[in-house]
């Protein structure tokens, strides 16, 4: 069985995606699949011998990629590649059609917002993860919050602001708050704002990635994540950053956060959070797997932050740790997702 692991892309999360993709590709080779790790944005120019592009375990040539500390410079990537604003690289569709299945290891933008899934449906390309509807609903943080609230799922209060329009946000915001781009993940562009002086800098940072931002009530509490696999909730994992909050650096640099799985929580709260995660997964119409993030206050109440349709699969990612807690190895997890 030939598998394209599709990663990278013109996304602020491309580095995380390439790290996820390399690990997934190696795991699938271990399971006996022929694998091509393919960058969605850069593509491959020479496809004269397509079969030779797919690696096997016996080739002794594993994929490797480490997430840099800095977020990617997408302007430089566009200049160096010569692709301009074309989001799908040369021969990507051809290679995805040639493969038996595409494992989506993408994060952010076209990979998670439903565009790619819709196009793959049109071309008859089989892929992992959620379909285009679920991807769209989960990726737009404002839209997903509307749906969660409609179904009685607690989520922090928020407003959506378009930074291209004239608005006097300083006069309307309740501080402290969290500012994040509306459709990004991996905590790129995210700031915690505690004073008016910090607001302008936070808005400028978010605007680097997107003009629409989510301005959310700051909930102070412990952070948890619940993986969903084949419509079953995995054990909770608690994330404890060593400094600051769970930002881009703390997520993807080894040793920057402590992760406890299974989380040390009363059974009653754990079960309720797992039930809430499953409900979020269902109302957003997600597929074989996802990961749902929560904050827990001291009084035992908890709030859903968002759902991730293509959770990170890097060496420090949460979903593989949750699966391992119930005896599912990393390579087995990748195979389950591939065949799910």
Question: E strands of 185-334, at which residues?
Answer: 191-193, 212-217, 222-229, 232-233, 237-241, 257-260, 289-296, 302-308
Confirm whether 52 is a catalytic residue.
Answer: no
Q: Is there a binding annotation on residue 211?
A: no
Helix (H, G, I), strand (E, B) or coil at 151: coil
Map residue 216 onto helix, strand or coil: strand
Residue 277 to residues 108, 155, 228, Cα–Cα distance (Å): 21, 12, 8
Q: What is the token pair recorded at 165?
A: 């329009």
Catalytic residue among 13, 34, 71, 322: 13
Of 17, 20, 186, 187, the catalytic one is 186
Q: What are phi and psi of 34, to 5 degrees?
A: -90, 125
Contacts of 318 (CB under 8 A, 6+ apart): 225, 227, 237, 239, 259, 261, 291, 311, 312
Under a CB-based contact definition with an 8 Å cutoff, are residues 176 and 187 in contact?
no
33-37: long-range contacts, CB 8 A cutoff, minimum separation 24:
33/1, 33/2, 33/3, 33/338, 34/1, 34/2, 34/3, 35/2, 35/3, 35/4, 35/5, 36/2, 36/3, 36/4, 36/5, 36/95, 36/99, 37/5, 37/7, 37/63
Q: Is 51 annotated as a binding residue?
A: no
162 is in an annotated binding site: no
Residue of 112, 191, 317, 322 with catalytic role = 317
* Residue 262 preceded by cis peptide, ω within 30: yes
Report d(CA 311, CA 3) in Å as an integer.
19
What is the b/e burial string over 290-324, where b = at least 16 CB atoms within 10 angstroms of the residue's CB? bbbbbbbeeeeebbbbbbbbbbbbbebbbbbbbbb
The question of whether 186 is a catalytic residue gets the answer yes
Catalytic residue positions, numbered? 13, 186, 317
Residue ranges for the known binding site are: 293, 306, 308
The binding site for Mg(2+) comprises 293, 306, 308
């Amino acid at each position: 069985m030939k598998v394209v692991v599709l990663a990278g892309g013109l996304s602020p999360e491309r580095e995380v995606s390439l790290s996820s993709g390399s690990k997934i590709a190696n795991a699938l080779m271990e399971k006996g699949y022929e694998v091509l790790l393919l960058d969605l944005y850069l593509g491959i120019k020479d496809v004269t011998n397509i079969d030779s592009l797919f690696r096997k375990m016996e080739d002794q040539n594993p994929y490797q990629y480490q997430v840099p500390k800095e977020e990617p410079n997408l302007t430089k990537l566009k200049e160096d590649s010569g692709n301009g604003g074309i989001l799908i690289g040369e021969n990507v569709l051809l290679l995805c059609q040639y493969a038996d299945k595409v494992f989506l290891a993408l994060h952010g933008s076209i990979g998670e917002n439903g565009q790619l899934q819709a196009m793959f449906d049109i071309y008859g390309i089989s892929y992992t993860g959620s379909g285009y509807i679920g991807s769209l609903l989960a990726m737009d943080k404002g839209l997903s919050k509307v749906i969660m609230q409609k179904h009685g799922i607690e989520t922090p209060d928020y407003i959506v602001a378009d930074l291209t329009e004239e608005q006097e946000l300083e006069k309307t915001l309740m501080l402290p708050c969290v500012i994040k781009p509306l459709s990004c993940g991996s905590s790129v562009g995210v700031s915690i704002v505690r004073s008016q002086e910090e607001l302008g800098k936070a808005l400028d940072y978010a605007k680097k990635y997107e003009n629409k931002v989510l301005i959310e009530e700051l909930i102070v509490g412990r952070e948890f994540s619940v993986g969903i696999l084949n419509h079953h909730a995995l054990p909770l994992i608690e994330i404890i950053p060593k400094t600051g909050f769970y930002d881009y650096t703390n997520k993807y640099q080894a040793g920057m956060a402590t992760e406890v799985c299974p989380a040390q929580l009363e059974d009653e709260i754990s079960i309720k959070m797992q039930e809430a995660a499953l409900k979020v997964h269902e109302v957003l119409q997600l597929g074989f797997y996802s990961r749902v993030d929560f904050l827990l206050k001291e009084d035992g109440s908890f709030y859903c932050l968002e759902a991730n349709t293509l959770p990170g699969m890097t060496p420090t990612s949460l979903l593989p740790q949750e699966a391992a807690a119930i005896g599912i190895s990393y390579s087995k997890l990748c195979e389950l997702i591939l065949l799910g």
